[in-house]
Chains A and B, each alone.
Chain A
Amino acid sequence: DGGITQSPKYLFRKEGQNVTLSCEQNLNHDAMYWYRQDPGQGLRLIYYSQIVNDFQKGDIAEGYSVSREKKESFPLTVTSAQKNPTAFYLCASRRTENTEAFFGQGTRLTVV
């Protein structure tokens, strides 16, 4: 089945540790996106990539890093510089601009 997979679903980390969230898609989509969602809030764009080996900062990139070494994969690292990392993280992909974006099931990160 084609789709976009995020793992793990729940993640717990100690404060000060870096953590990497996985996002994989087998839809042959060029563009991939990372969002952060806090309780009762909308989606805020962290990073996006429209082609392999290229990515751009979104609105809240500070404290996060990404890579796009393969078309299928767009991992997000939450670094210790992110002051309030506890949130729900969503990854999305789409074929081209103005086509539907598909979302993964999300990763709920809790930092204690």
Chain B
Amino acid sequence: QKEVEQNSGPLSVPEGAIASLNCTYSDRGSQSFFWYRQYSGKSPELIMFIYSNGDKEDGRFTAQLNKASQYVSLLIRDSQPSDSATYLCAVYSDMRFGAGTRLTVKP
């Protein structure tokens, strides 16, 4: 079974800070990765997709992929209270998710 692991947190950061979320995976053949955000009681929504080594930026979000070290991370700059949610990492080849990291941004 292909494993996806996340630091389960919870992670708490002050408003305006950078939040760093990490995910490691076991299958070296995995090519594509997704970060989903899930608000309490709601379904997940896609926020980032990355398939190349390096960084991908989208607004305040930056996804980083390091295939040699088998980790993918998500940075949230200028964190806002509305970013408070659970962030799920997914290996897209088999649609398996990590356990999620609960982020709280304190005003």
Where the two chains meet, the residues of A that have a C-beta atom closer than 8 Å to any C-beta of B are: 31, 33, 35, 40-43, 45, 48, 59, 88, 90, 92, 94, 97-98, 100-101, 103-106
Say whether A45 contacts B95, CB under 8 Å.
yes
Main secondary structure of the interface of B (DSSP, over half): loop
Say whether A103 contacts B92, CB under 8 Å.
no
Determine if B52 is an interface residue (Cβ-Cβ < 8 Å).
no
Rounded to whole Å, the gap between the CB of A109 and the closest CB of chain B is 14
Which one of A40, A42, A98, A100 lies within 8 Å of B97 (CB-CB)?
A42
Number of interface residues of B (CB under 8 A): 24
Say whether A43 contacts B97, CB under 8 Å.
yes
Q: List 5 A-B contacts (CB under 8 A).
A: A33-B95, A42-B97, A43-B97, A90-B44, A98-B31
Assuming the A-B contacts A42-B88, A43-B88, are A101 and B95 also in contact, with contact meaning beta carbons closer than 8 angstroms in the complex? Answer: yes
Say whether B43 contacts A105, CB under 8 Å.
yes
Q: Which residue of A lies closest to B32 (CB)?
A: A98
Say whether A41 contacts B99, CB under 8 Å.
yes
Q: Which residue of B lies closest to A104 (CB)?
A: B43
Assuming the A-B contacts A98-B93, A105-B43, are A42 and B51 also in contact, with contact meaning beta carbons closer than 8 angstroms in the complex? Answer: no
Say whether B95 contacts A48, CB under 8 Å.
yes
Residues of A close to B6: CB separation below 8 A: 42
Rounded to whole Å, the gap between the CB of A102 and the closest CB of chain B is 8
Given contacts A43-B44, A43-B100, A101-B92, 8 further A-B contacts (CB under 8 A): A40-B102, A41-B100, A42-B6, A43-B97, A100-B49, A101-B34, A103-B43, A105-B42
